[in-house]
Structure 1
Amino acid sequence: MLKSHGNMKLSTSSVVAGVLSFMASSISSAGGVGGGGLFIPILTIVGCLDLKTATSFSAFMVTGGSIANVMYNLIAKSAKFGGKTLIDYDIALLSEPCMLLGVSVGVVCNLVLPEWLITIMFAIFLVWSTSKTCSNGIEFWKLESDRHLGTRNGYGNLENGESGEAKSLEEPLVSMEGKESPRFPWKKLVVLIMFWFSFFIIYLLRGNRYGQGVISLKPCGIEYWALSLFQIPLAIAFTAWILRKQELIACQDPNKQGVKKLIFPLMALMAGGLGGLFGIGGGMLISPLLLQVGVAPEVTAATCSFMVFFSSTMSAFQYLLLGMDHISTALVFSVICFVASLLGLVVVQKAIKRFGRASLIVFSVGIVMALSAILMTSYGALDVWDDYSSGNYMGFKLPC
């Protein structure tokens, strides 16, 4: 993929990168994760793009996939959860402010920490997350197998006199009782959009550390850091207000104990921070955490894709307003991921309905995380080796 007069030529590498991106997006969509951990290595290694351009392309590609996910999940209703949408707006409201704050903190840490340390941390965290996700997937698979076995033995046909064991197998890990009615939750969506615009305005005014923004600010000056730090009280205020207004979260951990509301913003803060540090979307990181506290796979995938939509669109708009190159090509890749995500969602949802295996979602997340761990760690290791061979400085750096 060669640069020429502001456009990118169609070549074998660009076609191969597009095909691989299509496959990566279709797999990622099933788990509700963005897929940035796959897109960036594909674009840099196969597509021969520099890391900066690949990162901007990845933001558009994740946005395209998340739009498909949100559209599908807004239309689709789940009979398992009483005909309601699978998106848990309560979890999204509690998590999104801290996730965006965590991304900002993670980006600063990415500038300060040496590349070799980031690569090691990334490998350790993804290996741990992949193992936990696969363990959750195996547990869900066993529960589904027991449920199918009980149904074949006649337990599923019991009405008022069904046994407690059969009933426990049928209960989802997330109870939708007390949730919103089938009507669209406009108020919650408006709150999310308000918060999105609040952070977006801060990013526009502040610009980046090179002074690129809508107003003239000294890069990394007092005003720059004042606007950056303002994100902390803003996120805390939004989260505190939502915690006071929000209903109880009905999900349960695997031991059938209620989950406290505060755990969701804390998980989102950690996922966002790690996502900003490693340069990938927070959806891949918060998905295993939600599964760990007992959120059902279908709800986890739909809710994560909904949250990724807000974070990815913010990144894409920032790249647009700061004058990114090759916008038309980025849009083409975005459309590819949009189509691939729809196809992946349709195929996986049909498989779930046919085989009754929601654990397929968990395994798809595990596959994406395992591939990301291999590709991103290998790519990072090559960068570290190049720095070492070239004698470049490999210690801690200032953020500016």
Structure 2
Amino acid sequence: MEGAESEWTSVKAFFKGLDTWQMETILKQDATKLFESTGDSEEVEYKPLPDGQVNDPPKANKVTILQNIYWKELGLLVFVWVAYLAVQIAKNYTAPCSTTFWVLNLLQIPVSIGVFLYEAIGLYEGRRRISSKGDEIMDWQVHRLLMFCACGVVAGIVGGLLGIGGGFVMGPLFLEMGIHPQVSSGTATFGMLFSSSMSVVEYYLLGRFPVPYALYFIAVAIVAAFIGQYIITKLITISGRASLIIFVLAFTIFISAIALGGVGITSTIGKIERHEYMGFENLCRYTA
């Protein structure tokens, strides 16, 4: 199941990358023709993202990172993070399948629906927009908003049950929405930060978090992130093609699918040889 899901996502991302590559090729050809017709000796600078304004502001007016943060939206994400974390921690101190256990679990539903409706209504009425799309008008119909909500739910289920990461679903989804590859990659990763950090805090408070083990992977991830960011930025600057990010995403998903599938098959064969039970266990027989 997880292999099929990952393969489908990988194929979708790959074909989206091909479409973006072709579009970039057309834009580069148009820029070359314009350069030849005007005879301008000044090289056209590659601008991967719009800044959300019709006219670029002077460089002296560029804002800092802190000034560029949408604090209201960040506060909403933090609220959801705290609410979910509180529910998960409280649930660990209740008897499995008790009334309190299910009430705490169901509390996550109104929080999710409330946040979704707040954002969806803002997009539908035009009070909110996607900053990376600049002044482009988006047609936010009800069925599209519901479809994106369903994709978010699927990403959460896939990430929670299969452990492949919601970014494997959200990344291609953002690309289908027409979001720029840079923004798609960054947003999917930023969203995974909240779900991953929630698990880290929860396990740490429960005394099940191996700190030295985690610090090692944190160090490796930070170094790899900086190296990867530097390399991909250089490649995009040299080639003028942001579609490289999409191909990297598709390749990563494909390799992950093969690795996860191989591990799953090996584990299944081992359990069959040992005659182990491979069905669903009873949730209510476990204690917190």
What TM-score, normalized to structure 2?
0.79
Match of 1:152 in 2: 32
In the TM superposition, what is the alpha-carbon distance from 1:264 to its structure 2 partner? 3.2
* 2:15 aligned to which of 131, 135, 142: 135
Kindly state the Cα deviation for residue 313 of structure 1 after the two structures are TM-superposed. Answer: 0.9
Matches within 5 A, 1:74-113: none
Q: Quote the Cα distance in structure 1 between the aligned partners of 2:283 and 2:170.
A: 26
Distance of aligned partners of 1:388 and 1:157 in 2 relative to their CA distance in 1, 3 Å threshold: farther
Residue 258 (1) aligns with residue 143 (2): no
Quick one: distance in 2 between partners of 1:201 and 1:249?
31
When residues 291 and 187 of structure 1 are mapped into structure 2, their CA distance, relative to the original with a 3 A threshold, is same
| Aligned: 1:270 with 2:154 | yes
Q: Where in structure 2 are the equivalents of 1:313-328 lying within 5 Å?
A: 313-328=197-212
Q: Is the 8 A contact 2:21 2:241 kept in 1?
A: yes
Residues 288/175 of structure 1: CA separation in 2 closer, same or farther (3 Å cut): farther
CA deviation after TM superposition for structure 1 residue 155, in Å = 6.2
The letter of the residue matching 2:15 is: S
Establish whether residue 236 from structure 1 lines up as the match of residue 150 from structure 2. no
RMSD value, Cα: 2.8
Instruction: Check 1:329–1:277 CA distance in 2 against 1; reply closer, same or farther (3 A cut).
Output: closer
**1:278 Cα shift?**
0.8
Q: How does 1:166-181 map to 2 (within 5 A)?
A: 176=52
How many residues are matched? Answer: 256
| 1:244-294 deviation line (CA, Å, top 9, x unaligned) | 345344588xxx973444443322111111111211221122111111222
State how far apart, in whole Å, the 1-side matches of 2:195 and 2:268 are.
29
Q: Where in structure 1 do 4 or more consecutive aligned residues deviate above 4 Å?
A: 155-158, 170-175
Please tell me whether residue 192 in structure 1 is matched to residue 69 in structure 2: no
Identity %, equivalent residues: 29
Quote the Cα distance in structure 2 between the aligned partners of 1:201 and 1:156: 62
CA distance in 2, matches of 1:173, 1:290: 15
C-alpha distance in 2, partners of 1:300/1:259? 18
Provide structure 2 residue ranges, at least 5 long, that are not aligned to the other structure: 39-45, 55-62
Change (3 A) 1:131 1:390: same
The answer (yes or no) to whether the contact 1:173–1:294 under 8 Å persists in 2 is no
Match runs of 1:346-361 below 5 Å: 346-361=230-245
Structure 1 pair 123–387 and aligned structure 2 pair: CA distance change class (3 A): same
- Normalising by structure 1, what TM-score? 0.58
- SS state at 1:376 partner: helix
Q: Tell me, which stretches of 5 or more residues in structure 1 are unaligned?
A: 1-120, 159-169, 208-215
| CA deviation profile, 1:69-96 (whole Å, cap 9, x unmatched) | xxxxxxxxxxxxxxxxxxxxxxxxxxxx
Structure 1 residues 174 and 122: CA distance shift in structure 2, 3 A:
farther
* Structure 2 CA distance for partners of 1:263 and 1:295, relative to 1, 3 Å: farther
Residues 287 and 304 in structure 1, CA contact (< 8 A), matched pair in contact too: yes
Establish whether residue 365 from structure 1 lines up as the match of residue 249 from structure 2. Answer: yes
Q: Deviations over 1:143-198 (max 9, x none)?
A: 1122112212226987xxxxxxxxxxx998989469xx964311211111111111
Aligned positions of 1:1-400 closer than 5 A: 121-154=1-34, 176=52, 183-207=68-92, 216-246=93-123, 247-250=127-130, 258-260=139-141, 261-400=145-284
Could you tell me how far apart the structure 1 residues matched to 2:275 and 2:122 are?
55
